[in-house]
Amino acid sequence: MIAEGYPLQESVLLDSGATLHIFRDTKRMKSLRAAPIGDFLWSGTTQVPIDGYGEARIILKSGDGSPTYLTLYNVALCTALTTNLVSFSKLRKRGYWWDTKPGNNCLRRADGSYLGEVEEINGQQVLEYRTSYEPAATLRAALIAEVSSKPRQRKQHTSWTHRRPLKGDSLTWHKRLGHPGPEVLRYLTTASRGVRIKGDTPQGPRRITTVNCDACGTAKAHRLIRRAPREATARARPGDRIAIDFHPLTLGYAGYTSVCILTDRASGYSWDYYLTERSTPTLRSMIQSFLRMLEVQYSIKVKVIECDNEIIDIHTRVADDIRERGIICEPSAPNTQAQNGGAERVAAVIIEKSRAMRIAAKLPAYLWPEIMKAATYLYNRTPSLRRDRKTPYEIFHSASREPGDPTAKPDLAHLRSYGCKAFALTADTQLRRKRLQKQAPRAWIGFLIGYTSSNSFRIWNPLQKEILTMRDVTFNEQQHFDGHIESLRDDLLQADLEAIQKRIQELISIQEQPSQWATQLPDEEYEEVLNDEDRPCSDQLAQQDASTSEEDQHAKLPPRGEEGDGSASEYTTSRFEVLPTPPPSPPTAFFHAEAFGLDVKGRGGSVGEKSSTPARRRQRISFKAAFLAGGIQAPKHRHRSTCQIMTDGVATPVSSRAGGGRNKPLLPPQYKGKEQHIVGIHWSLLEKLPSSHMQIKSHQYRDAILEAEKAHLQSHKQSNSWEEVAKSMARGRQILGCHWVYTYKLDKHGRLVKIKARLVIRGDQQDKDERDTYAATLAGMSFRTLVALANRFDYEMLQYDAVNAFVHATIDEDIYMEMPMGYRKEGRILKLRKALYGLRRSPLLWQKHFEKGLIRTGFQRVPGEDCCWLHGDIIFFFYVDDCVLCFPETMKKEATKLMGDLQMIYHIEGGQPLQWFLGIEVIRDRPTRRLWLSQSVYVDKMKRLLPDVMQIPNKVIPMTQEELLPYEGIASPGSTNSYQRKVGTLMYAAVMTRPDIAFASSRLARFNQNPGPLHHKAADRVIWYLLQTRGHSLEFGSEPGSEEDGLQVASDASFGDNSLDRRSSQAFTMRLFGGITSWKANKQDTVTTSTTEAELLALSQAAKEALFASRLLSAMKIDLSAPTARRRTAQPSRVTIECDNKQTIRLVKEELIKLRTKLRHVDIHNHWLRQEITQGRIDVVYTSSAQLLADGFTKALPSDKFELFMQRLRLADLSEKLGMNRRRELEEEL
């Protein structure tokens, strides 16, 4: 209310509690309007009526005293109030803020610029101070007069003079100079120019020290270390006081993630323990083993254990075990590792030593466990000035031996330069095996990486990425590992001097490899997996025998400490490691060539090829590289630099990684200067082919490459693929470029058949138009159905290859191409007549041309499958240029005539039993009517997608039950590309022969655009699972008349299991003649509101696929309606679908049950299913979830249920059979 005589009556106050601006004088208001009747505000407990609303303008003082206007809107007029109030909350909404930092009291704009001063008068914050009412113009004039009344003085400092000295008090200069120490300010004025310090520099308690300045106090705090040793340490004897120190590191060799250093405080002797996890059971076992070792070996009982708070606070059971033994546990203060003193310093010295050793030896970082073992071993044997020039080894062992015993001092005669080259005897030499192979190397090349005793060494094999304990080793201390794997390969190749070694190398390349990735329980004894075939000399040695002598088995054990040095237990129960990353299985030629970018067709020659052994050429097995999922054919020609296998942790020269140069393998002497006679050489001895014609001149196989180019051009001349015309004829037309692609053509054992050159047109330069380019390819479901049918009725299956398929088709447009590089003529180009590789429409033109040839021969297309054709009981299907002919034995003569007619039209080679198709191996046991589809070779090459080291999962299942969520960060392009390669590789296996990873692959594919570390880890787990189960193959076969002798379909859904969008997962499976032929695991397109609706959509999807399969079987004259399936003309039989939801079954089968839903698409699916059931085309029966095959496609199963799921899928382990096939093929070849 009005208080007469109030000094701030006419002033404007800043009020942080007011909710609106309030003025008391109508003279200060503009655009005034009456307030609605009843408007009021509270002043304490009194209601003050609001007379009106309008605008008001106040004048603020700027930094230099000049006036600044501020206009206020929606100001309430209350003539009954004492003063004028400005609401700070209103100002803040308009972007103004009140700066109340020390030394400041002002209003600022949102950008921090100065708006006006706030004065504190009579305890109030005043924006505009007036003693009486004055018009705004009068007040503004007074402020201007106040500023202008000061006498104008000549400026002493202008742009032509030196800058004015900068003034400020000691605190200001302390901030300006970035918080220096107090002594700096005392000499600042004499040590610099342009400085003026107001007042004296504070001294005494007011001096600006670390604790007087908050910023200095928080920024310059440091540890207060007391370096005096604990009193009891000086009196301790060796073994009395043990200090424990843990150090986490990156994931290392054998899955180690941390190291534990235990140090004897009296002697400084240290023991190193390597852990894959720092759990309570692990630490308990480690400490128990350590204490037992000291007691048994040295009769030492530890009295005190010094440790940090991890054991006390986190692993309390470990601390209890220590106290139960009567040992005092002395923890350090929290976050004060310096109190660990000796242990901290010793560990720092060991880590520093290991770092220097690794850098000098150029070893990969992931080998840090082995490097730290060696560093600890050497530290214990290094004299110390602090310990009177004695070694920790001597001080520790002297306590348990007689005075003057010379064995107390360490023997260093066995030490060698760390990381030097080592020549270790092979197991065959040690065990005197294969003594008839006089030319075989007696040693393999490795590098010294550690010691286990005075006569046992740890040798690293960089090629096979394994570490072996060896005794019979010779060292070259002048040579060390240079980080280049190719140089090591050259060294190994120089040892291969005789032709017989090449034959032995071929023998090894197809030997069967024992199952890899074998897991080991945490409490099992560690044992290295040694295979001589996987050592650097694997290309000269045969596979090691399964049975080895006791001496050889001892060489495989983990490293032991020196006898009596107290380090034995560190390599026993405390290692807690899984098996190291094993070497890859010796692959077939397909894997070799795919890994090194080689073309793998393995078939007979192309047009114009002349071979001296045509019969032998026809016996070669045909197979192709794998294709991407979804029916897209992978490129057949890949530059080696794009798929170079990188050795884990080893630097590879730029030339081998990026194609900047060539690595020339050293050929055996018998091939020197005979590049034109290189047929039969193993792929590992071949030089990388050039990427362009310009690089041929410097290539050692230039003559063979030029001959291949000429042969290819001659084949085009015979096919009349183009005509040579003047360049002027293409005026106004596009002229496409072309380039040469060179590949090695290998046989199934990886030996060179010939060098192949292919001219590829630059279809990527071709203008796009509206013409169709789609060419149908054989679906995976159709392929499995056809092989199941052929196995059920015991049909012959022969494989053929259409050579130079595309050039058979004539193009229907004018296309011009530059002449090939190396054969160009001035002013001349080529006008194409035939479809060349690389054109957009070449696949479609070939398919149309091939279909005409099939029709002319007498085949008829199967409705619904463009790549499958029939001629009576003879079935012919193809994928681009890979063809398979199926027929009963009784129709062999007719089938032979049909293929002869087809070969009159096309150049088709082959006729051997089907063994490879699209990278899938077909294994058949005709007496028992069993057939298997295997992708073991394809799975083998997945190993290169795994990281250098990875944590091995505890259970052999592809995916855990924890849901994967989107990555919140942003993945790098490299990470995204790597993840997409992994998922794409997995998808091909998932859609062809490995339904056990269908659910996992479907989940992983959802994160292709932005994968995170967890997604990479999940993808690596699936790859690891496949490598473990690489021999698992899809089995087909059923007893005639049994329940499996027909078509079984199942559907399932997991309601709302995707937490992000709450869509349900669905799946279906289809089994034909005992083998699963079709499956799908995906997420539904829409959200459903109940389990019944989700199951209904899954059932609809399964029904559609089942009807297609039924019609396909009917088109191929398969009658499933009879008790025993037989081949005869019949209508599509009724399909029975299994479902585990009774409500869904009632919904689609019973008349009285109706679905009540507002989702139209769900209602449509319901009506369609009822229609198909009513018309007898499908039927739905109940099967429990535990027996439903599709259940494993909608969720991640635990290990016990997953084993049952694998049994129902009939994925059989054929590792032994596959190995026998490899050996039999070699025997037939030899």
Q: Where are the domains of the chain?
A: 12-148, 165-202, 236-405, 420-571, 589-766+775-918, 1035-1213
**How many angstroms separate the CA atoms of 1172 and 1177, rounded?**
5
Side chain identity, residue 496: D
Integer CA distances (angstroms), 198 to 89, 167, 195, in order = 38, 7, 10
Q: Which residue has the higher pLDDT, 379 or 436?
A: 379
For residue 109, give both structure tokens: 């704009």
Q: Which residue has the higher pLDDT, 758 or 1159?
A: 758
CA angle 444, 448, 452 (to 5 degrees): 110
Domain 12-148 coded CATH 2.40.70: yes
pLDDT class of 630 with cuts at 50, 70, 90: very low
For residue 269, give both structure tokens: 């002797």
* pLDDT above 80 (res 478): yes
Q: Per the CATH hierarchy, to which homologous superfamily does domain 1035-1213 belong?
A: Ribonuclease H-like superfamily/Ribonuclease H (3.30.420.10)
* pLDDT above 90 (res 376): yes
**How many angstroms separate the CA atoms of 1041 and 1122, rounded?**
9
* Residue 337 confidence (pLDDT): 53
Average pLDDT (190-213) is 62
Most confident of 244-258, 643-657, 1160-1174: 244-258
Integer CA distances (angstroms), 1131 to 1040, 1120, 1135, in order = 21, 9, 12
Helices 1160-1174 and 1091-1115, axial angle in degrees (round to 10): 40
Selecting from 3.30.420.10, 3.40.920.10, 3.30.420.40, 3.30.70.360, what CATH number does the domain 236-405 have? 3.30.420.10
Surface-to-core class of residue 206, CB atoms within 10 Å of its CB (0-12 exposed, 13-18 middle, 19+ buried): exposed
* pLDDT above 70 (res 837): yes
* Residue among 1042, 1065, 1068, 1045 nearest 1055 (CA): 1065
- Report the run of H or E that residue 316 belongs to, with start and end: helix 316-324
* Residue among 986, 1027, 1197 nearest 518 (CA): 1027
Average pLDDT (375-391) is 86
Q: What confidence tens digit (pLDDT) does each residue in 976-1024 have?
A: 999 999 999 999 999 999 999 999 999 999 999 999 999 999 999 999 9
Contact yes or no for 60/129 (Cβ under 8 A): no
* Residue 680 confidence (pLDDT): 73
Q: Compute the mean pLDDT over every residue in the chain, rounded to the nearest whole number.
A: 76
CA angle 294, 306, 385 (to 5 degrees): 80
* Residue among 63, 65, 69 nearest 149 (CA): 65
* Residue 403 confidence (pLDDT): 77
* Residue 835 confidence (pLDDT): 87
- Report the run of H or E that residue 797 belongs to, with start and end: strand 796-802
**How many angstroms separate the CA atoms of 1213 and 975, rounded?**
34
Integer CA distances (angstroms), 394 to 304, 399, 406, in order = 22, 9, 9
pLDDT class of 855 with cuts at 50, 70, 90: very high
Q: What confidence tens digit (pLDDT) does each residue in 686-697 have?
A: 888 998 888 888
Contact yes or no for 1045/1124 (Cβ under 8 A): yes
Average pLDDT (653-678) is 41
Q: Which residue has the higher pLDDT, 269 or 770?
A: 269
**How many angstroms separate the CA atoms of 1106 and 697, rounded?**
59
For residue 626, give both structure tokens: 């794998």
Q: What is the DSSP letter of 314?
A: I
**How many angstroms separate the CA atoms of 1144 and 224, rounded?**
73
CA angle 44, 48, 53 (to 5 degrees): 125
Q: What confidence tens digit (pLDDT) does each residue in 407-461 have?
A: 888 888 888 889 999 999 888 888 878 777 778 888 888 999 999 888 899 999 8
* Residue among 211, 177, 217 nearest 197 (CA): 177
- Is the entire prediction scored with pTM above 0.85? no
Token match 């494989």: residue?
799
Length of the chain: 1230
Surface-to-core class of residue 386, CB atoms within 10 Å of its CB (0-12 exposed, 13-18 middle, 19+ buried): exposed
Chain-centroid distance of CA 893 in Å reads 53
Q: Which residue has the higher pLDDT, 602 or 127?
A: 127
CA dihedral 1182, 1188, 1192, 1193 (to 10 degrees): -50
* Residue among 950, 344, 270 nearest 570 (CA): 270
- Residues in contact with 978: Cβ distance below 8 Å, sequence separation at least 6, in sequence order: 945, 1016
pLDDT class of 883 with cuts at 50, 70, 90: very high
Q: Please indicate whether the domains covering 236-405 and 1035-1213 agree at the CATH topology level.
A: yes
**How many angstroms separate the CA atoms of 573 and 578, rounded?**
12
If DSSP codes are grouped into helix, strand and coil, which group holds residue 201? coil
* Residue 28 confidence (pLDDT): 86
**How many angstroms separate the CA atoms of 860 and 870, rounded?**
5
Q: What is the DSSP letter of 488?
A: H
Alpha helices in 46-93 (DSSP H): 88-93
Pairing of strands 84-87, 12-15: parallel
pLDDT class of 1119 with cuts at 50, 70, 90: confident
* Residue 677 confidence (pLDDT): 58
For residue 163, give both structure tokens: 């800058």
In this structure, how many other beta carbons lie within 10 angstroms of the beta carbon of residue 270?
Answer: 26
- Give the gyration radius of the chain's Cα atoms: 42
Pairing of strands 738-746, 752-761: antiparallel
Pairing of strands 1135-1139, 1178-1182: parallel
Q: What confidence tens digit (pLDDT) does each residue in 209-257 have?
A: 555 677 777 776 766 655 545 555 556 788 899 999 888 998 888 888 9
